[in-house]
Amino acid sequence: MKFGVVTFPGSNCDQDMIDALRNDLNQDVINLWHKEKDLSMFSTEDCILLPGGFSYGDYLRCGAIAKFSPMMQSVVEFAKKGGRVIGVCNGFQILCEAGLLPGALLKNQNQQFVCKNIFMKSENTHTSITKEVTGRPLMIPVAHGEGRYYADEATLDGLFANNQVLFRYCDEFGNIVDSANPNGAIRNIAGICNKERNVFGMMPHPERATSEVLGNRDGQLIFQSLINNN
């Protein structure tokens, strides 16, 4: 399995992602530039990653400009063919803006940037990225100002009915409670996928939790689940 990590103007987590995948998980990683369009070196068994940061300065809605980049046109086509795509933080915002995932990311409920470790858990055994971490609280860092997931009630009901909710914010014991929600995301949603289960978006940063040096390897479990269930 190969990974491609896209760098946009304003990306600041691309090297974190590359380092985590290449050095902590021993994966083949290719850096992709936003002005390029060629993804011919990737098959649908591979994965394209959109990292966190402030693509194009986030001067409009976060991710609203990045969706027009030449690379994103290719990423959309790659996803439509069944290729795996993961968006983390700003990458999640880009996926929603590009129409690859439903809903939107709004300003945090407290109107402040939040940067801390949180707990989240998955109850979804239907996706490759969650299959091996289901049912256990994972400690993963967040760092965002517009991470409050929102969708209308019909969309939300569909996400839960179709097993498209990947992760929900919880306390250290796995309880889904309001006090564990760092941004006011509706129904404590921290990550979702598309109906075909090949496009994944999440606000927490698993690439920041893949090494003993960082004091946390819970993020590595998420990537390893994706790799093992390719």
Q: How many helices (H) and strands (E) does the chain have?
A: 5, 11
Catalytic residue numbers? 89, 205, 207
| Cα–Cα dist 17/35, whole Å | 19
Cα–Cα dist 12/208, whole Å = 12
Q: For residue 219, give the DSSP letter.
A: H
What tokens were used for 25?
């998980």
Q: How many CB atoms lie within 10 A of CB 115?
A: 12
CA–CA distances in Å: residue 208 to residues 68, 178, 179? 28, 24, 23
Question: 10 Å Cβ neighbour count for 131?
Answer: 15
Q: DSSP letters of 52-101?
A: -B-GGGG-SSTTTTGGGSHHHHHHHHHHHTT-EEEEETHHHHHHHHTTSS
* C-alpha span between 218 and 63 (Å, rounded): 27
Q: How many CB atoms lie within 10 A of CB 58?
A: 18
